[in-house]
Amino acid sequence: MSHRRSVSGAKDSTTRHQARPLGGVAARACGGLATFVVGCTGAADVPAVPDLSGLEESYEAPSAEIGDAPAVQAALGSVPELQELAAAFRAAGALIDPIDDARETAGETSGAGIRVQGTIQIQVRCPGSGSTPVYDAATNGTFTLRLAVQNNTIRGSFGADAEHCLASTRLGETQLPIELDGRIEMDLGGDIRFGQPWTRSHTLFSLDGSITVGAATFRNVSARLEPDRFEFLQETARGSVVLFVSDSGIGLRDQTGTWLCDVDAGTCAIL
């Protein structure tokens, strides 16, 4: 599977960020309004799910062999907005929080001896880039997920469509506006079974569109998000490397190992 990427824009801040959950996105549906539609009978269709295994493999085993610290620094320098990108994807990751609500709701249709299948579509009204969320789809756009339900599980791989979805994220003390647009395929690393606890620990993104954070716009990129780590697959002349932002710092993984860099000192060391 090929993943086109391009990066443009200017670096705005180097402060490590803390992801800000998109306020209210995870609000429970219980207080909301549910409408009712009579469905026709027959087994509900299960939508096809994207296969991101190739991309996952690329993250697990980058192909390039960088070899020395200057080359590592050069590779990191090719994405100067890495921390902004990390902040943006963490904010985007929060957009899929309602999956947990859907899991609870759909889970109530299942039970012993019952098989559930079909589709769950979640339309998130994006909160906007202001300090107070404004859930107005016309103003701030939408983020729509289409989940496949099969054998009492929500498939961990799914697609979503962002339409001028505006949100914000925080990088240090700076609040940055984000705009997400296009088709995004995601993989949570495993299926979500009804009736069982679920904690999101891993999200792989493949964006066929753009994500703008601050003044930087990234097009057709992928990313892998874990609770304490953001990874970004970058092509170099020698092959692919994985750039990362973690609690330990910024670094790079290549075919031979993991490099951790001190941004201020401008040094990198292999672990």
Smaller CB separation from other proteins, 6 or 151: 151
| Rounded least distance, CB 94 to other proteins, Å | 11
How much is the CA Rg of the chain, to the nearest whole Å? 19
| Rounded least distance, CB 192 to other proteins, Å | 14
CB 141 within 8 A of CB 128: no
Q: Which residues contact 13 (CB under 8 A, 6 or more apart)?
A: 83, 84, 171, 172, 174
| Rounded least distance, CB 215 to other proteins, Å | 27
| Rounded least distance, CB 19 to other proteins, Å | 17
CB 198 within 8 A of CB 229: no
Smaller CB separation from other proteins, 42 or 77: 42
Q: What is the DSSP letter of 221?
A: -
| Rounded least distance, CB 41 to other proteins, Å | 4
Instruction: Name which of 98, 95, 103, 96 is nearest 154 in CA terms.
Output: 103
Smaller CB separation from other proteins, 70 or 111: 111
| Rounded least distance, CB 51 to other proteins, Å | 23
Smaller CB separation from other proteins, 135 or 177: 135
CB 210 within 8 A of CB 75: no
Site of interaction with other proteins (CB under 8 A) = 24-45, 98, 101-102, 104-106, 108-111, 113-125, 127, 133, 135, 149
Q: Which residues contact 189 (CB under 8 A, 6 or more apart)?
A: 156, 201, 202, 203, 204
Smaller CB separation from other proteins, 57 or 108: 108
Q: Of how many residues is the chain composed?
A: 271
Smaller CB separation from other proteins, 12 or 97: 97
CB 256 within 8 A of CB 66: yes
Q: Which residues contact 171 (CB under 8 A, 6 or more apart)?
A: 12, 13, 15, 16, 17, 83, 84, 87
| Rounded least distance, CB 52 to other proteins, Å | 23
What whole-number distance in Å separates Cα of residue 125 and Cα of residue 16? 27
CB 156 within 8 A of CB 185: no
Smaller CB separation from other proteins, 100 or 226: 100
